[in-house]
Amino acid sequence: MAQDSPRTSIRGSTFIRLLARLTDADVSPSRSSLSDRLSQWLDWTHAIALSTAMDRRASTEAFDAPPFGDAEAEECARVRASLAEVIKGAGESTDGDVEYPAFRQRYLTMQRRMQTATGNLRGRLRDMLAQKTPDMARLAEVDAVMERALSPREHTLLAAVPHLLGDHFERLRKRAQDTPADAPPAENISAGAWLDTFRKDMQSVLLAELDVRFQPVEGLLAALRTR
């Protein structure tokens, strides 16, 4: 009897590995370096803007910015914790949740909330960074260029997640429907059980996406903490 070939081990963030598991995808590892992929994602206008920002000479003008304290870091932590708390409720059961569109709408709503919150935080931290030192001002400019260049691609890629979860939803439901009533307990998945599984999976994906969206914010916070 032929055996299935082992699946390729997926490397990358928790978000990518989680999606690969839920979609049962056999993803081949990329042979392109990060710089090669970035060259494909940036058009010539963004490439010029990025090069200009990175090559700009640091000004000798003194910056008189207030020292970075804990208030902004605490605000970022508060916003993140608040979003995580809402995500935990997004997968909870409500009456009539037996079709995917209701879950899809919840996911899209959370994506919009995360995008708005992280975008606001990123802009505020970047403004603070631009007032610190000439080198940090250049870093803030590079971050602004990268956000403008990569946000459309990020939006396109993340917009595909609700569709992938929809496929996962249907696979779980079909597996439950196709399971014989006299199947062993380990294989017998009730309607409530598969829905609970999906809710937990959707919650895990949302939390992993939250981690991804907060990475630029964490990077700016790290730069601001530099003395």
Q: pLDDT tens string for the chain (227 positions)?
A: 344 444 444 445 788 889 888 886 555 555 665 556 666 666 657 666 666 666 666 555 556 666 667 888 999 999 999 999 999 887 676 655 678 999 999 999 999 999 999 999 999 999 999 888 888 888 898 899 888 888 888 899 899 999 999 999 999 998 888 766 555 554 445 557 888 999 999 999 999 999 999 999 999 999 998 85
Domain ranges of the chain: 65-225
Q: Which two tokens stand for residue 216?
A: 């630029």
Compute φ and ψ for 92, nearest 5 degrees: -75, 155
